């Protein structure tokens, strides 16, 4: 049923920003204006607006629904929000990776620090109880096994301490010190390996001569380490002398060898005939043993280099992230 045009009832609507008049005039112009604006959305075909039937004018029939301008800003804000969420997720993943590197670096350096403590303890024990244990070189008497263990343990402890504290506290100074010290050690090791392979023949010749000079210090006062080292090598490797057992003849000025050269060890057995002594040269036996275990030595060297490279990478990654964070929050 159509509403009469003479109906003078007032239709109330919600207040809007367009007008402060909250009632429609008798001619229904405002009502028609709203009807034409939203007719396409709220049932223009049935000529109704919120349940009130109207007669749309010519402008209302031609009007088309247009989205408000604010929708452009809404889409823009949604795009920004989506980009922000993606960036936040990426940053969160990067932060998780950094935390993983941080704790891995801490654990590895803690293990190295504990290992360094153990090596240092063994070196000190050997130095106190055995003197200059396993000293073979007369040119470098301080280059004993005890001193090498003490130096190695000390260096490992220092490097491990810098890595542990620098990683857990994310301290730039400690991380950079750890990186520089570890890089110096790695470069020195690399230089030593290169020089060893380049000058292998010269090193081999020099080692033979130096070991022969060391034989003259065997059994003398203050050279307990060298004496013990030669006794252990000749007993374990079943050898005698550097090149052969006659090297000892020059030392004693007699046909005599240490008792550790005997096939069956007993007191003064070195005074017996050469038939009761080991004949193989110790230098060649030790060298052959190293060749037999070359694979194990190579694997150990590669693992050591790999660990050092990972330590350098982790330290520099953490250092760069800490610098970026300080720059961002500055």
Tokens of 292: 């037999």
Backbone φ and ψ of 240, nearest 5°: -150, 125
Q: How many angstroms separate the CA atoms of 161 and 182, rounded?
A: 12
Q: In a 3-state reduction of DSSP, which class is residue 53?
A: strand
pLDDT of residue 132: 58
Q: How many angstroms separate the CA atoms of 159 and 218, rounded?
A: 38
Lowest mean pLDDT among 75-79, 80-84, 183-187: 75-79
Backbone φ and ψ of 33, nearest 5°: -60, -45
Pairing of the two strands 48-49 and 52-53 = antiparallel
Q: In this structure, are residues 183 and 326 in contact, taking their beta carbons and an 8 Å threshold?
A: no
pLDDT at 136 over 80: no
Q: In this structure, are residues 242 and 282 in contact, taking their beta carbons and an 8 Å threshold?
A: yes
Q: In a 3-state reduction of DSSP, which class is residue 46?
A: helix
pLDDT of residue 100: 82
Per-residue pLDDT band at 144 (split at 50, 70, 90): confident
Tokens of 264: 């069956």
Alpha helices in the chain (DSSP H): 29-38, 58-62, 70-129, 145-169, 172-198, 200-215, 224-236, 247-252, 282-292, 294-329
Comparing CA positions, the residue from 178, 127, 184, 182 lying closest to residue 150 is 127
Tens of pLDDT, residue by residue over 217-227, are: 888 887 777 88
Per-residue pLDDT band at 60 (split at 50, 70, 90): very low
pLDDT at 279 over 80: yes
Q: How many angstroms separate the CA atoms of 126 and 120, rounded?
A: 10
More confident residue, 276 or 20: 276
Tens of pLDDT, residue by residue over 162-217, are: 999 998 888 889 999 999 999 999 999 999 999 999 999 999 999 898 888 888 88
Tokens of 291: 């060749």
Q: How many angstroms separate the CA atoms of 267 and 136, rounded?
A: 24
Backbone φ and ψ of 49, nearest 5°: -140, 105
Instruction: Please report, for the chain, the start and end positions of each structural domain, with discontinuous segments joined by +.
Output: 1-66
């Amino acid at each position: 049923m159509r509403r009469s045009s003479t109906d003078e009832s007032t239709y109330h609507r919600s207040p809007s920003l367009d007008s402060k008049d909250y009632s429609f005039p008798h001619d229904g112009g405002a009502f028609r204006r709203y009807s034409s604006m939203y007719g396409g959305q709220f049932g223009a075909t049935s000529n109704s607006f919120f349940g009130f039937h109207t007669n749309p004018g010519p402008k209302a029939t031609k009007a088309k629904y247009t989205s408000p301008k604010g929708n452009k800003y809404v889409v823009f804000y949604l795009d920004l929000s989506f980009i922000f969420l993606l960036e936040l997720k990426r940053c969160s993943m990067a932060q998780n990776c950094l935390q993983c590197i941080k704790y891995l670096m801490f654990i590895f350096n803690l293990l190295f620090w504990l290992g360094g403590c153990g090596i240092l303890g063994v070196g000190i024990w050997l130095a106190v109880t055995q003197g200059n244990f396993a000293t073979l070189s007369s040119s470098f008497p301080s280059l004993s096994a005890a001193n090498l263990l003490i130096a190695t343990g000390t260096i490992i402890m220092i490097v491990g301490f810098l890595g542990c504290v620098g990683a857990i506290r994310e301290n730039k100074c400690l991380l950079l010190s750890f990186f520089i010290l570890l890089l110096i050690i790695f470069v020195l090791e690399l230089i030593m390996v290169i020089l060893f392979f380049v000058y292998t023949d010269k090193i081999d010749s020099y080692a033979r001569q130096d070991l022969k000079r060391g034989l003259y210090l065997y059994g003398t006062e203050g050279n307990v380490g060298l004496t013990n080292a030669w006794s252990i090598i000749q007993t374990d490797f079943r050898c005698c002398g550097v090149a052969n057992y006659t090297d000892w003849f020059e030392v004693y000025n007699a046909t005599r060898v240490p008792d550790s050269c005997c096939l069956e060890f007993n007191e003064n057995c070195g005074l017996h005939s050469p038939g009761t002594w080991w004949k193989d040269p110790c230098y060649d036996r030790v060298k052959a043993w190293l060749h037999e275990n070359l694979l194990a030595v190579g694997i150990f060297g590669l693992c050591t280099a790999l660990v050092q490279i990972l330590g350098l990478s982790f330290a520099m990654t953490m250092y760069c992230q800490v610098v970026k964070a300080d720059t961002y929050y500055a």
